[in-house]
Structure 1
Amino acid sequence: MFDRAVICTDLSPSSESLIACAGALGAIGVREAVLTYVIDIGTPDAASIDGSADAAFARQVEAIERAGIRVHVDTTVGYPPYAIEQIAEQHDASIIVIGSHGRGLFVSAFSGSVSSDLVRISARPVLLAVLSALGSNDESSAMCGRLLSRVLFPTDLTSVSAMAANYLVRLAPHGLGTVDIVHVVDNTVGNGIEFRRCDAQERLAELEGDLLAAGAVAVNTEVIVGPPERETARRCAMDGHSMIIMAPRCDEDPGHPLGGVTHAVIQSTRTPVLLIPPGCLR
């Protein structure tokens, strides 16, 4: 399913845990990787890579290849989000993997670029991992090797979330373990809370059936009543999940360009998040 991945590196020591994670992505089907370094046009000395960077590149390539994944290397100059998406398009990648320093979607691990822009323009899923949560290389490899063991899927039951649900169903035959599906009925707007709660339960039950039929080991559904941003972030902040899958939205609010719920989740969780972009700006 995710046979070819673009792995984004800034060649710093902090990116080593992401490289260890990349080597374990065979768990979600990755067989080839494009190790990508973008020289940010907004930084000094943007036209060159020194000898230490070359050595780091070679070391990271070797680490991924030792895990049995074929590696290509691609380096370019530009604004990282657009350059990364262009590389992913050129290599027909099925997923992009990036690291975060844990301060949300707006500060990513590579070249000081803005990862929210990447998600907004990407034509493929983006796996976001908090570097500090990955731990040592061994811990990172173990964490990313069990991404499918217990997945949390927060859904607002819109057409955008339905697209993410389709990806989830497609993952089921590839070793998907337990799936926890959560929907929050917004009690801050409108009436008919009980009707909306019952409707959500029925729709989650349908998705549960689809997942079990496709090969998921177990599925749990939960409908919560409350403010979606707060309740979804609270649920996602709980320990015990190997990965969160969700569909960001494009909002006009510059403070929350991917939607308030996605923003709240990214700010609160240390679990790897697989974002299924809605194809915004295209």
Structure 2
Amino acid sequence: MFQRCLICTDFSDGLQRLIRFVPALAAGGFTQIVFVHTVPLWEEGDVPRVDQERIDAARARLEGAAAHAPGGVEMIIEVRSGKAAEIIPKLLEQYHSDLILMGTPTRSLMQETVFGSTTQSLTRNTKSPLLILRPQLVSVYREEELNLRCQNLWRSLLIPYNGSPSADYLIERLKGLIAKDPDHSLTQCHLVWVVTSGGRRTEQDSYQYQMAEGKLAAVKTDFAAMGVAVETVVRTGDPLQEIMTVAMEMDISAIAIAYQSRGALLDWTSPSFANEVLRNSWFPVLFFSPKE
């Protein structure tokens, strides 16, 4: 589905390991891979300045990626001085990247509010999708496991769907990518609708079940016509908890989520299902940036 990506690493997220798995990433469909690392300005003294020693050391760590690049894959190393949240959007524009790959740890709402987040900034300020991998998982994969993961980053997606504008926006983004993907790298989707209920199942719940099943069936038909196998699931309960449960039960590569408009993401302290998934899911998350 994607061909040109930025792999952004701070060397604590485990993504620097991917320099040894460029052939596997190429097998997953990438034709251009840009490894990105940012070095903060040296703040000692009165005037902040570029820390050239750290830049050279970081570049040396990443240079090994070029040796692993197969034919037909453009490999680029970018080590810049400054803030990641400011540099990454510029590199996206420069290289016309269609995906940002980041390693973002799970965080509580308080941690997000106090410490901030590069991911949070990018969801506000970029149009390219983000694929978020958890450092705790990437760091402990054995090489055989990581090799397989790199080849199947979005092979099987779990798609939370509830008929909302954001959910419909997600479906349209995915359908557009599938239509442009001759290799059909997305082969399976699990469409999951969670009916919120106050407790005991009522007649209203039964109606919501039927409505959910009908709308999921329509989306399933669209995906099936594009050659994607689809399983539909309707659950009752807390949306985040049920989605995580289904994710553990199914054989998935990532959870796909989206917002329809940027306004909903301006304040991550507001309650939001997508925000909770971005902060708390242990599974990889494919997040589609909102429309302008």
TM-score, length of structure 2 as denominator length: 0.78
Cα contact 1:236–1:268 (8 A) shared by 2: no
The one-letter code sitting in structure 1 at the alignment partner of 2:124 is R
Match of 2:129 among 125, 128, 131: 125
Partner of 1:57: 62
Following the alignment from structure 1 to structure 2, what is the Cα–Cα distance between the partners of residues 192 and 163?
A: 27
Q: Note if 1:233 corresponds to 2:232.
A: no
Return the index of the structure with the highest Cα Rg: 2
Partner of 2:196: 186
Please give the per-residue CA displacement for 1:90-129, whole angstroms capped at 9, x wherever unaligned: 2211111111234479989xxx953122122220110011
Partner of 1:168: 174
**Aligned CA distance change for structure 1 residues 267 and 163 (closer, same or farther; 3 Å):** same
The one-letter code sitting in structure 2 at the alignment partner of 1:165 is I
Partner of 1:136: 142
The one-letter code sitting in structure 2 at the alignment partner of 1:58 is E
Partner of 2:216: 204
**Aligned CA distance change for structure 1 residues 20 and 187 (closer, same or farther; 3 Å):** farther
The one-letter code sitting in structure 1 at the alignment partner of 2:151 is G
The one-letter code sitting in structure 1 at the alignment partner of 2:82 is G
Following the alignment from structure 1 to structure 2, what is the Cα–Cα distance between the partners of residues 18 and 101?
A: 17
**Aligned CA distance change for structure 1 residues 150 and 3 (closer, same or farther; 3 Å):** closer
Partner of 1:255: 269
Please give the per-residue CA displacement for 1:2-53, whole angstroms capped at 9, x wherever unaligned: 2211111224583333445665333553210122222235977762242432
Following the alignment from structure 2 to structure 1, what is the Cα–Cα distance between the partners of residues 49 and 242?
A: 43
The one-letter code sitting in structure 2 at the alignment partner of 1:6 is L
Cα contact 1:80–1:113 (8 A) shared by 2: no
**Aligned CA distance change for structure 1 residues 276 and 23 (closer, same or farther; 3 Å):** farther
Query: Unpaired runs of 5+ in structure 1?
Result: none
TM-score, length of structure 1 as denominator length: 0.81
Of stretches 173-182 and 202-211 in structure 1, the one that deviates more from structure 2 is 173-182
Q: Secondary structure at the match of 1:224?
A: strand
Following the alignment from structure 1 to structure 2, what is the Cα–Cα distance between the partners of residues 58 and 67?
A: 17
**Aligned CA distance change for structure 1 residues 159 and 21 (closer, same or farther; 3 Å):** farther
* Percent identity (aligned): 24
Displaced runs of 4 or more, over 6 A: 42-46, 104-108
RMSD of aligned residue pairs (Cα, Å)? 3.3
Q: Secondary structure at the match of 1:24?
A: helix
Partner of 2:78: 74
Note the 1:91-110 alignment, pairs <5 A: 91-103=95-107
Query: Unpaired runs of 5+ in structure 2?
Result: none
The number of aligned residues is 272
Following the alignment from structure 1 to structure 2, what is the Cα–Cα distance between the partners of residues 42 and 156?
A: 48
Cα contact 2:34–2:76 (8 A) shared by 1: yes
Following the alignment from structure 2 to structure 1, what is the Cα–Cα distance between the partners of residues 251 and 196?
A: 25
Following the alignment from structure 1 to structure 2, what is the Cα–Cα distance between the partners of residues 66 and 261?
A: 40
The one-letter code sitting in structure 1 at the alignment partner of 2:171 is A
